[in-house]
Amino acid sequence: MRKGFVYGFLAACLVWTAILVTPLVMPKAVSRTIFSFLDVSQEPRRVDYLLVPSGSLFYRLPFAVGLMDRRLGDTLVLTVTEPPRWRREMRDIAGEDLTEGSLVLKLLRSHGVSETQVVFLGQSRSTWQDARLFSDFLAARPAATALAVSDGYHLRRIRLSMARTNAAAEQRVLYIASSTFDDLLRRDNESSDAYQQVFKESIKLIFYALGRA
C-alpha cells in the first residue's frame, strides 16, 4: 500500500516536472502542439453571418473580409472591447483617436465593406461575454448559420463558451482560424511573447472548462 503511494507520488512529480520544465526547454515545439489542440478550425462554407469577437481586430477583421470576398458571408457581427484597450489597439490602425464604432467602420471601408454589412452587438470584456452576445443574436434568428472568426489559439475557448451559453445556437456555428501558429510567431517577431500567449490561453481554457470564467 505504502509502496504504491510512493510510486504514485513519484509519477505525479515526474508529470508535473515535465509540464513545468518542458516549455522552458523547448517552448516552440510545446507551444506548437498546444496551439494545434486549441485550433478547432473547420472547413468553411457559406453562412448568413460572420462572427468576429473583440480583441486583435487588426488581424481578425481583414481575414473576415477575405471570407466575404470569397462569398462565404455577407454580414459581419462584431463585439468590441472596453474603450481604453480598444482605443490603444485601434489607434495604431487608424492613426487617430476616434470612437470605437467609427474606427471599425473606417477600417472596414478601407476594405470595401459598407455600414449596412456590419452589426455591432455592444461592448465585451471577455470571451464569455462575446459568446453570450453571439448566442443571443443567433437565438433570435433560429434559421441563421454563422462562422466564428478568431485566432487559432482562441477557437476552442470561444466554441466552449458558445456551447455553454446556448448549445442549440452553437450547433449552427462553424469555426475558422484567422491566424496560424506561424502567423503568431511572425506577429511577435519570433519572441517568447508568442509562446507565452499560447500557454496563457491554455490556462484560460482550463478555467473555462471548470466553469470558473
Residue 146's SS3 state is strand
Domain residue ranges in the chain: 40-181
Q: Give me the sheet containing 49-52, strands edge to edge.
A: 118-123, 75-80, 49-52, 146-150, 173-177
* pLDDT computed for residue 101 by the predictor: 63
* pLDDT computed for residue 58 by the predictor: 76
* pLDDT computed for residue 51 by the predictor: 97
Residue 127's closest CA among 191, 44, 52? 52
* pLDDT computed for residue 135 by the predictor: 96
**Cα 166 from Cα 141, distance rounded (Å):** 13
* pLDDT computed for residue 90 by the predictor: 55
Structural class in CATH, domain 40-181: alpha beta
Q: Give residue for cell 445556437.
A: 169
Tens digits of pLDDT across the chain (213 residues): 566 666 667 766 766 666 666 666 678 888 899 999 999 999 999 999 999 998 777 788 899 999 999 999 999 999 877 555 555 555 655 555 555 566 677 778 877 888 889 998 988 888 999 999 999 999 999 999 999 999 999 999 999 999 999 999 999 999 999 999 999 888 877 777 788 888 888 888 888 888 755
Query: How many other CB atoms sit within 10 Å of the CB of residue 25?
Result: 9
* pLDDT computed for residue 108 by the predictor: 82
